[in-house]
Each structure stands twice: as structure tokens, then as C-alpha cells.
Amino acid sequence: MNSKIMLVWGGTGGHVFPLLNIAQYIKKNSPEISFHWVGEAQSIESKVSSENDIPFSSITCGKLRRYFSLQNLLMPFQVLMGIVQSIVILQREKPTAIFSKGGYVSLPVAVTSWILGIPVYLHESDSIPGLTNKVVGRFASGIFCAFSEADSFFETSKILGHGSLLSNEILSLTNEVIPPNPRTQILVSCWSQGSASVFDAVIELLPRFSDVDFHIILWVKNLDYRTKFKKFPNVHIFDFFYNQTDYLKIVQQCDLVIARSGSSIFEFEAFGLHMILIPHPFTGNNHQYWNAKAFEKKGHELLEQKNISDLARIVEKYRTYKKSSEKTVVDTTIFDTITQTLLK
């Protein structure tokens, strides 16, 4: 019987695309393997799975809000509904393994898989796991972490490897030679957690940096900024890309990035970009701050939201910055380790 792997995540692009990356890697090397994606309806993962010909099923899932909300009263019932829906989906699809990036949508699937005796494997992208991932980790047969700092939150015996799930496009593009550009190229990308405060700070500094090119990625929630940015001739505006190749070609030509500190920081690192990281202040366990803190130790900039007025001062330090022409060595052993684990 050929293996079928169920992919689970719902939420942000920074977590959806790594799932797609591992699916494409496995499919390339083992075309007989099939996949099925479980997530939320009308979501980024439903669109990405459709565009990549991966069958998709949606479930109801409850999200715990870390503030007072009447919606929290519905969460237990939503999780229960998600478990019932997961039982139907898993019994119909009969996956041989579950591979999850975590997030609240994964909880009903993980519980159901444990009940049905289907192994669950988790990839944790952040230095501090969220509440759901800590719970899912208890049901998991094995766990992979992008940050070694996350190991302490899980059972030591379950840690199977470390690494980020970069795409094949990244691995090929990092080997291309880019024609030199005398002007510093700065990427501004907040992924699907587009941030008005970051964009406002960039707009404020733009008049002082006419000798620098800015590449702005706008998410659907921030398209109103298009008019504001178009006033500046040194700004190049792009809508959020579901097509990774188009997006990565823009990242490839940049020297510096202003961004939140989600899992996309590993993509920026692969392309050798220096980072000015502005952690999202309202993430679970403040994990973006600790992600940025880990990269600050590597020499990158950490700028907290409360100090965002200092952005212009930091950008000034890199006005003439050009990234190294040396190729970045990317460790891809995590892909082989995950593949061997899922197909055993």
C-alpha cells in the first residue's frame, strides 16, 4: 500500500509554505506518495493546496484568545466539532502519517490521530512553541525544531532533528549569480501578518533615503498603502505572492530586509540578507521576540515595536550596505530526516 501523508496547518503564509515545501520534496523523490491537506475553509492554505493540486478538507477549530472574549466560551465546542470532523476525514482518507506545523487547527487532528493510532509528527518553527504545539507535542510520535531553543519544551526522546523547511526554489536561487547593483536594495515584508505600524515607519523614513531602493510586499489587508507608497520613485510595490518563485526572486536581489520575525527569517538567512527584525508584539508567548533574539546573536538587528521610531536611525547604518557575494551554505538534511521518518 502506498503511503498517504496528511498535512496540517492553518493560519499564516510563513507556516503554510514550509508544509508545501516538504510535500514537494517528498513528491519529487517518491512520486507514488500522495498528500491530503487539512486546514480552515476560505484560507491561505486552501488556496495554496488548490494551486498545487493537493486535495483539501476543512474543519472547525477553536482558537484560544489570550484576552477576554466571549468567543473563548465557544472554543471547547469548536474543538469537539473539529474532532468529529477529523474522525470522518481520517477514516475516509486513511493517512499513514500526519505531518503538522502546529497551530490551533492541528489540535483536533492530533487528538483524533492519537485515538486512531496514526502517528503524528510536528515541526516547530519558533524558538518558543505556542500553547497548541505544546499540547500537540504530547500526542506526537516525533518532533522537529527549527530552533534548538525550542527543544526544552518537549520530551527529549521525541526530538528527531533540527532545521527549517526551505523550498527547492530557494536552494536553486541561492546558487545563482546576481548582477551587482550599486544601490542598496531593501525588502519590506511582513508576510500575511502585514503591519500598518511597520509600513507607517517606512513611509516616514523614505524621504531621507532616495538613494536606496525599497521593495514592498503588500498583503491583502494592507493594499490601501499602495497609494501612499506610489508617491516615492524608489519604491517598488508587489502584492502578496501565493507563487513562491516570484516572491523569492525579489528576496534574492535584496541586501537587507525589514520584517517581522516569524519563520520567514530562515528564508532571508538563506539568501544572505541582513535583517532588521521587528517582532510582532502580540504573538503567543512573545515567540517572535525570542526568534529575533536568537538571530540578534548572529549579528542581526532587533527593534522592538515600542521603539519603532528608531527605524530610520538603524536603516541609516546600512545606507550603503551590500550583502556578501559568497554563497550561503544551506543544510538540507532535515528534509531527508523527515522523509525517512514519515515513510518508515
Number of domains in the chain: 2
Same domain, 297 and 156: no
The string of pLDDT tens digits covering residues 166-197 is: 887 887 888 787 888 999 999 999 865 558 89
Q: How confident is the model at residue 260 (pLDDT cuts 50, 70, 90)?
A: very high
Same domain, 261 and 153: no
Distance, in Å, from the CA atom of 333 to the CA atom of 338, rounded to the nearest integer, reads 9
Asked whether the beta carbons of 106 and 264 are under 8 A apart, the reply is no
Q: Among 53-62, 136-145, 207-216, 301-310, which is the least confidently predicted range?
A: 53-62
Residue 181 belongs to a domain: yes
The range of the structural domain enclosing residue 131 comes to 4-166+332-343
Same domain, 190 and 283: yes
Residue whose C-alpha cell is 517582532: 279
Same domain, 104 and 123: yes
Same domain, 269 and 227: yes
Same domain, 114 and 185: no
Same domain, 158 and 189: no
C-alpha count within 13 angstroms, C-beta hemisphere, residue 261: 32
Distance, in Å, from the CA atom of 203 to the CA atom of 87, rounded to the nearest integer, reads 49
Same domain, 202 and 267: yes
CATH code of the domain covering residue 213: 3.40.50.2000
Distance, in Å, from the CA atom of 54 to the CA atom of 20, rounded to the nearest integer, reads 9
pLDDT above 60: residue 101: yes
Residue 81 belongs to a domain: yes
pLDDT for residue 224? 82
The string of pLDDT tens digits covering residues 214-250 is: 999 887 667 788 899 999 999 999 877 666 778 888 9
Same domain, 15 and 160: yes
